[in-house]
Structure 1
Amino acid sequence: MKDADRIHGAAHESHIHDSAIKHVTGRAEYTDDITEPAGCLHAYIGTAGIAHGHITALDLDAVRAAPGVVAVLTADDIPGRNDISPNGLDDEPVFTSDLVQFFGQPVFAVVAETRDLARRACQLAKIDYAPLPHACDIDAAEGADYPDVTAPLTLERGQVGPALNSAPHRIQGRLRVGGQDHMYLEGQIALAIPGEDDEIALFASTQHPSEAQHMVAHTLGVPANAVVVNVRRMGGGFGGKETQMNLFCVIAALAAKKLGRAVKLRPDRDQDMEITGKRHDFRIDYDLGFDDQGRILAVDGVFAARCGWSSDLSGPVTDRALFHADNAYFYPAVRLQSRPIKTNTVSNTAFRGFGGPQGVIAAERMIEEIAYALGRDPLEIRRANFYRDGADITPYHQTVEDNILSRLVDELEQSSDYQTRRRAVLDWNARGGPIRKGIALTPVKFGISFTATWFNQAGALVHVYNDGSIHLNHGGTEMGQGLYTKVAQVVAEAFQVDISRIKITKTTTEKVPNTSATAASSGTDLNGMAALDACTRIKARLVEFAAAHWNVPRETVQFLPGRVTMGAQTVSFDELIKAAYMARVQLSSTGFYKTPEIHWDRAAGKGQPFYYFAYGAACSEVSVDTLTGETRVDRADVLHDVGRSLNPALDLGQVEGAFVQGMGWLTSEELVWEGAGRLRTHAPSTYKIPLASDRPRIFNVRLADWSENVKPTIKRSKAVGEPPFMLPISVFEAIGMAVASLADYRICPRLDAPATPERVLMAAERLRAST
């Protein structure tokens, strides 16, 4: 291809992340790097020291008298609504003045000249309590008859009871799946700057600027148009900044408006971890019927989740766990029920996968149960149960279309040399010894769209300036995943210009209103289409102008790399734009997109909540020391479907990162609350995320470059943020196989997650005792 016909940074090319060089050189500006306005104050949050009880006395005199303290805020200082519940259930006060519902609940905030002075002043508060009994886990809350934090969901199809009773084989079991801290590199932070009248501007690390805008507005008692929320980039989010940032934005804004000075709020990592929500941990009970060939006949499952003290996003998270409890498999008769249980712990929230991982791992556990019961290779059982023609209806009554799983799995089985390596693993384990090996190949089917249908919309704003440079703004937020770069590539290709012409600007509520959270893997799908819509509108005006100006038919006007042709005539892009400007052609446009076809009736448990499915498969091999419980991932092979990739380099990075983060969830990351209800794993020193040394020793990751989305998504691509997170379930299953070798693979080891060395060792001892 000639250079003249090449667009640097066009869609479907690997192109460097727009902030990559800034990231590695330290020049990327985050919220804490913004130059503080003159007189900027700093806030810190004072929290409750019990898990459940009433506040009987609150003495803040010593706090107010502490050095550098300018103000102390309590619930009485909130002029509007004392609530930041994201779902309108009015169950999440900013500050509590009476009932404490978890250890670390915000009671007041100190505003001081420095952050250190504010933090130290918080420790001088005297709070008396009348303690109440507390329940910090699912079993305790159930025993204390705690309520659900939101309405549960049931998905049902077929006659489950009769199908279970008539099944040749039936297994009942329980799986516990642990939670996970987001451990973003940049913690929660907000900077609020008061303006004139009722105006206030915030710079924050949030995935949902519009929600932060509305929360600040209603706590201040002002309209949304008085509040502007700005986000240039985040140092990670993973769902932890979808709703949890509301608290920090609101407190900073309250203080700024009360004092008429800028206020920054940045908690310590310990406090950040103590008072922000996590991935929900689940207790999953399953009743499974199957035949002699390993085909599933019926599934009855109850998915109980530790939700915490308020509803937050627990309703949709537990709903989505049910949506993915089938994973890749057809259940002829099925009943799935959620139990979003209230506990006296921090309110759990969105996390990469949004309940999907907990559903998928349940499906894979049932496959594992069948394989061990029948003495078969789990991959055979998986294949026997894959969705296929005539068996393609999900538990929520959506038809599975574009099912490419069989091709993906077949291709990965060959490229990973699964069968040869499985035989080698069996031979190794047959020799005995403390080091046992395991191998597993697991699939992923993941639905893409917000299940809250109204969130499936996006807006964009594109300006073309008269020098030919382009300004791009949309409602998506950049948290390192490359969203800004991908959308800029879409715009570059639309205008056939070099990506360097495009200025990617911060997300702000004053340019694109009513945006949805950058979540549910939908950021590129939604914002890319909205930006393309804006470009299409501008291009239509340019074509109309060019046809009239050069007196040619409209159909002869073509945008080519760096130039525009009108029949036999050619001008540069810059020349066209300058001429159009002089002729008073509008060179700016908004764009809008809403996902088509989707609908969902929650009461009936039926609909089409997902626009399409993304698929993937992973083969992992592990070594397990059965004397210590330590595990090592020797090799992982991944083949993942992203449709027609907008940027293969970025997509590969997302798959690799998701795999390692998922490994952490399943092997090392463990949340521990002590008896009094305090989180003890509240810092990197007590909470173990994967290290570089924990990555698979051999790590082969490929994209299914033959795939193309059958739905007209942006450039026929597919979402990549969440689906690959479930690929390391193959690691978890491989660990199970290694342990199962101790009982000649006759007993399902029933490991709970995370498979920490302690849990692996206890499972190994159980199986040794059974022989």
Structure 2
Amino acid sequence: MRHFEMDKLKARGGSVGQSKFHDSAVKQVCGSAKYVDDNPEPAGCLHAYPVLAPITRGVVKSIDTRKAEALAGVVRIFTASDVPGKLDIGPVFPGDILLTDNEIQYHNQPVLLVVAKSYDVARRAARMVEIECRSSEAVLDIKTAVEQQNWVRPPHSLQRGDAEAAIANAAHTLSGELHVGGQEHFYLEGQVAMTAPNEDGGMSVYCSTQHPTEVQHLVAKVLKQPFHFVTVETRRMGGAFGGKETQAAPWACLAALATYHLGCAVKLRLARADDFRLTGKRHPFYNHYRVGFNDDGLVEGVHIEVNGFCGYSPDLSDAIVDRAMFHADNAYYYPAAKIIGNRCKTNTMSHTAFRGFGGPQGMIVAELIMDDIAAALGKDPLDVRKANLYQPGRDVTPYHQTVEQHVMGDMIAQLERDADYRQRRAAIKQHNSNSPFIKKGLSMTPVKFGISFTVQHLNQAGALVHVYSDGSIHLNHGGTEMGQGLNTKVAQIVAHAFGVDFETVGITATRTDKVPNTSPTAASSGTDLNGMAALNAANTIKQRLVDFIAEYFGVEAESVEFNNNQVTYDNGQISFAELANLAYMKRISLSSTGYYATPKIHYDREKAEGRPFFYYAHGVALSEVEVDVLTGENTVTRVDILHDVGSSINPALDVGQIEGAFIQGMGWLTTEDLQWNDDGKLASFGPATYKIPAIGDTPAEFNVSLYDSANPETSVFRSKAVGEPPFMLCFSVWSAIRDAVSSITDYRYLPSIDTPATPERVLNAVNVSKAWLAKQTSNAEPESTHV
């Protein structure tokens, strides 16, 4: 079989490496892109809405549905006893309950399901159900959960060398802690599903989900049916960010339950406030560290503990805390390390996947350590970071994977030069010495992010490619489109493989009856997995065509080339469309499935070592901020980013992902403040109480460049994942805010600032810094220190 090229790229049509519009861009701008709630409702479609628990923890004593049932338009109210199959829909481990009729584990947990003739009636009736409960004490504080060893899954740890001895023998030691806030996904399209019986006795599910296969499996298990009973379709989502990886399943299962019993279509759409209350967020974390280092700021040993605020059930928390542990080193080599990860059970909704999947919450510890070491030694933080980078000979992670690509030093040097880091830092120090109220801060932080699902079996994908007799191409794959441009990239890959124009490829909705047993579109692996599966399908067809040309025209197979909508061979040429028709007439199969499984990856959990990641993506960001020391308000004034996407398949989409991820991360670290009341109710359940970045928060100067470096691993056309890695570039904003506040004490004291660094927290850090300065002023010899 002929080996088709994987590297980039000579001009051949197909547009790989070119900037192409997102396939839905024009439809979205014109308002014609269809989402689940936009699709026409079948005749007789009913609407469902959950009845929510009125307490945070306890048991149900009685339920009175009479008022709700008397409301005109109410068709039926379902209970847990109406579920024919499984009530527990935990995606990996048990614990996620579809409807509870006894134990309540978080405020607003679904208890019943109301089905009515309209959405408004269903919501009104759900609020009319009276539930009497007996309350018990809830666990809402992560420190309490740690003290009680209240876990949703057992702790796990990583170790290289003797961390305790290394810390004890180091010239300098420090310790610190940090509360890391969670984050609401705030997707534009909320959770929604519509289910309907089909004429073959099965069920169709239209769902806004990142994981159609999981929805298929869970709906089937809830209904006690084989998987083929359920077909799930997802054309596009209006955003997801991890919030529709597992969190979309309950609403599809509940709608399907009603369809199963009533024999008609049922739609369930959560109101935005209830979407906030009922769905998991990015995990808040409570982290602390001890570190030993030498006079140059070189780390000699670390002990890190990361504690994930998981909520009432496991959901995906085991893997999320694992990834936090795997990334507690970020881009830095720890000669000796002990990293512990706890999965803390609390009485809130179960927290879940969010862009970065725990990586950001672990990685921020590494940046905290670097800044604290620099402050303790009076060094420039960038110099401390550069000294601790992975490099040849210092290249083994705490989980024993060898870092094989060393581009970070070059990337930092390039951005340091191009963005005038040294000159700007000197100018900022001069500004701060003359500006009593507006302090500026500057910080450059790197990102090294591992690419692969840490659950090994998820690293696989399938695709389906048809070439029609007119030369047009049908593409279907197991990934889902949530706005990131996955469909566009995969279409570019297929078009490139056949050497035809991008417009030749038609993209269709993800369906479980076209590509089965798919993995979620998550872990930044959508293009890596589905693009490679689609390429393999295309290459299978392409090989058949090459063999056919060689036999039909009597030429050598090696002479056949697919370029710019033409197929050339020794002393001849035929258009791709003509070839497709000729092959069809000669009974050559023009359809193929494709499959791909990521190579090399493995992880031995018992030994806590292996290679969980196929490769690493890298990035560097330099952020400049201004802080008003009278109010604590802060503004990001300039950002410079250099990011490694390998050989870019679509530079415009990649830059868009980098910009969007950075701003989303900036929001997580500065404005997005999740708050629960003392009784366990979520207080920040809408845009009035939860602030995501707006256009006015975008840095006035925002420079993004792509680093010129092909992926050394055999990824699809040597590209690299781009969905999650640039999110962590936001650490430069948080570090710059700390840097600005530190200028109050002439950089002799670095305050602790939990995230998000809201004006209140920043102002508190300002006041603490001023108090430290006042105290030191009264002493003869001020000390350099930090919190």
- Bucket of the pairwise TM-score, normalised by the shorter protein: over 0.9
- Within 5 Å, give how 1:4-153 maps onto structure 2: 9-87=14-92, 89-143=93-147, 145=148, 147-153=150-156
Task: Kindly indicate whether the alpha-carbon contact (under 8 Å) linking 2:71 and 2:125 is maintained by their aligned counterparts in 1.
Answer: yes
Provide, for residues 580-601 of structure 1, a one-character-per-residue CA deviation record: whole Å limited to 9, x for no partner: 0011100000000000000001
Q: Which residue of 2 aligns with 1:442?
A: 445
Deviation at 1:141, TM superposition (A): 2.8
Task: Kindly indicate whether the alpha-carbon contact (under 8 Å) linking 1:9 and 1:15 is maintained by their aligned counterparts in 2.
Answer: no
Percent identity for Structure 1 against Structure 2: 53
Task: Kindly indicate whether the alpha-carbon contact (under 8 Å) linking 2:292 and 2:301 is maintained by their aligned counterparts in 1.
Answer: yes
Task: Kindly indicate whether the alpha-carbon contact (under 8 Å) linking 1:146 and 1:343 is maintained by their aligned counterparts in 2.
Answer: no
Structure 2 Cα separation of the partners of residues 424 and 136 of structure 1: 45
Deviation at 1:612, TM superposition (A): 0.3
Q: Which residue of 1 aligns with 2:383?
A: 380
SS in 1 for 2:291: strand
Structure 1 Cα separation of the partners of residues 466 and 199 of structure 2: 28
Deviation at 1:340, TM superposition (A): 0.6
Tell me the TM-score normalised to structure 1 length: 0.98
Look up the equivalent residue of 1:541 and give its one-letter code. Answer: R
Structure 2 Cα separation of the partners of residues 433 and 719 of structure 1: 44
SS in 1 for 2:240: coil
Look up the equivalent residue of 1:617 and give its one-letter code. Answer: V
Q: Which residue of 2 aligns with 1:637?
A: 640
Look up the equivalent residue of 1:97 and give its one-letter code. Answer: D
Q: Which residue of 2 aligns with 1:289?
A: 292
Aligned counterpart for 1:224 among listed residues 205, 209, 227: 227
Q: Which residue of 2 aligns with 1:743?
A: 745
Task: Kindly indicate whether the alpha-carbon contact (under 8 Å) linking 2:145 and 2:151 is maintained by their aligned counterparts in 1.
Answer: no
Deviation at 1:91, TM superposition (A): 1.1
Q: Which residue of 2 aligns with 1:721?
A: 723
Look up the equivalent residue of 1:101 and give its one-letter code. Answer: Q
SS in 1 for 2:527: helix
Deviation at 1:344, TM superposition (A): 0.3
Task: Kindly indicate whether the alpha-carbon contact (under 8 Å) linking 2:12 and 2:563 is maintained by their aligned counterparts in 1.
Answer: no
2:761 aligned with 1:756, yes or no?
Answer: no
2:337 aligned with 1:348, yes or no?
Answer: no
Deviation at 1:501, TM superposition (A): 1.2
Task: Kindly indicate whether the alpha-carbon contact (under 8 Å) linking 1:198 and 1:222 is maintained by their aligned counterparts in 2.
Answer: no
SS in 2 for 1:316: helix
Provide, for residues 290-329 of structure 1, a one-character-per-residue CA deviation record: whole Å limited to 9, x for no partner: 1100000110011111100000000000000010000010
Deviation at 1:142, TM superposition (A): 3.4
Task: Kindly indicate whether the alpha-carbon contact (under 8 Å) linking 2:14 and 2:493 is maintained by their aligned counterparts in 1.
Answer: no
Q: Which residue of 2 aligns with 1:607?
A: 610
Q: Which residue of 1 aligns with 2:410?
A: 407
Q: Which residue of 1 aligns with 2:184?
A: 181
SS in 1 for 2:153: coil
Q: Which residue of 2 aligns with 1:652?
A: 655
Provide, for residues 686-726 of structure 1, a one-character-per-residue CA deviation record: whole Å limited to 9, x for no partner: 1000000001111001111x210000100000000000000
SS in 1 for 2:681: coil
Aligned counterpart for 2:557 among listed residues 551, 554, 559: 554
Deviation at 1:432, TM superposition (A): 4.2
Structure 1 Cα separation of the partners of residues 89 and 420 of structure 2: 52
Deviation at 1:227, TM superposition (A): 0.5
Structure 1 Cα separation of the partners of residues 339 and 200 of structure 2: 52
Q: Which residue of 2 aligns with 1:585?
A: 588
Task: Kindly indicate whether the alpha-carbon contact (under 8 Å) linking 1:74 and 1:107 is maintained by their aligned counterparts in 2.
Answer: yes
- Within 5 Å, give how 1:273-312 maps onto structure 2: 273-312=276-315
Task: Kindly indicate whether the alpha-carbon contact (under 8 Å) linking 2:13 and 2:496 is maintained by their aligned counterparts in 1.
Answer: no
Structure 2 Cα separation of the partners of residues 195 and 527 of structure 1: 29
Q: Which residue of 2 aligns with 1:238?
A: 241
Structure 2 Cα separation of the partners of residues 427 and 565 of structure 1: 66
Provide, for residues 71-99 of structure 1, a one-character-per-residue CA deviation record: whole Å limited to 9, x for no partner: 11110110001011001x32111000100
Structure 2 Cα separation of the partners of residues 729 and 146 of structure 1: 30
Q: Which residue of 1 aligns with 2:7?
A: none
SS in 1 for 2:63: strand
Deviation at 1:198, TM superposition (A): 4.7
- Within 5 Å, give how 1:342-491 maps onto structure 2: 342-491=345-494
Structure 2 Cα separation of the partners of residues 194 and 74 of structure 1: 21
Look up the equivalent residue of 2:293 and give its one-letter code. Answer: F
SS in 2 for 1:306: strand
Runs of 4+ in 1 over 4 A off after TM superposition: 5-9
Task: Kindly indicate whether the alpha-carbon contact (under 8 Å) linking 1:7 and 1:498 is maintained by their aligned counterparts in 2.
Answer: no
Total equivalences in the alignment: 764
Deviation at 1:544, TM superposition (A): 1.1
Task: Kindly indicate whether the alpha-carbon contact (under 8 Å) linking 1:740 and 1:746 is maintained by their aligned counterparts in 2.
Answer: yes
Structure 2 Cα separation of the partners of residues 485 and 221 of structure 1: 37
Task: Kindly indicate whether the alpha-carbon contact (under 8 Å) linking 2:13 and 2:564 is maintained by their aligned counterparts in 1.
Answer: no
Deviation at 1:196, TM superposition (A): 4.4
Q: Which residue of 1 aligns with 2:785?
A: none
SS in 2 for 1:473: strand
Tell me which moved more, 194-203 or 392-401.
194-203
Aligned counterpart for 2:528 among listed residues 525, 531, 535: 525
Deviation at 1:220, TM superposition (A): 0.3
Deviation at 1:8, TM superposition (A): 5.7
Q: Which residue of 2 aligns with 1:664?
A: 667
SS in 1 for 2:112: strand
Look up the equivalent residue of 1:70 and give its one-letter code. Answer: V
Task: Kindly indicate whether the alpha-carbon contact (under 8 Å) linking 1:148 and 1:341 is maintained by their aligned counterparts in 2.
Answer: yes
Structure 1 Cα separation of the partners of residues 141 and 647 of structure 2: 43
Structure 1 Cα separation of the partners of residues 151 and 54 of structure 2: 24
SS in 2 for 1:172: strand
Provide, for residues 551-582 of structure 1, a one-character-per-residue CA deviation record: whole Å limited to 9, x for no partner: 21222222121111221111111111111001
Q: Which residue of 1 aligns with 2:3?
A: none
Look up the equivalent residue of 2:657 and give its one-letter code. Answer: Q
Provide, for residues 234-281 of structure 1, a one-character-per-residue CA deviation record: whole Å limited to 9, x for no partner: 000100000000101100100111101100000100000100000001
Task: Kindly indicate whether the alpha-carbon contact (under 8 Å) linking 2:627 and 2:634 is maintained by their aligned counterparts in 1.
Answer: yes
Look up the equivalent residue of 2:434 and give its one-letter code. Answer: R
Q: Specify every segment of 5 or more residues in structure 1 that has no aligned partner in the other structure, as ranges.
A: none
Look up the equivalent residue of 1:76 and give its one-letter code. Answer: S
Task: Kindly indicate whether the alpha-carbon contact (under 8 Å) linking 2:448 and 2:619 is maintained by their aligned counterparts in 1.
Answer: yes
Task: Kindly indicate whether the alpha-carbon contact (under 8 Å) linking 2:84 and 2:222 is maintained by their aligned counterparts in 1.
Answer: yes
2:157 aligned with 1:154, yes or no?
Answer: yes
SS in 1 for 2:432: helix
Task: Kindly indicate whether the alpha-carbon contact (under 8 Å) linking 2:13 and 2:563 is maintained by their aligned counterparts in 1.
Answer: no
Tell me the TM-score normalised to structure 2 length: 0.96
Task: Kindly indicate whether the alpha-carbon contact (under 8 Å) linking 1:42 and 1:118 is maintained by their aligned counterparts in 2.
Answer: yes
Structure 2 Cα separation of the partners of residues 152 and 276 of structure 1: 24
Q: Specify every segment of 5 or more residues in structure 2 that has no aligned partner in the other structure, as ranges.
A: 1-9, 774-787
Deviation at 1:614, TM superposition (A): 0.4
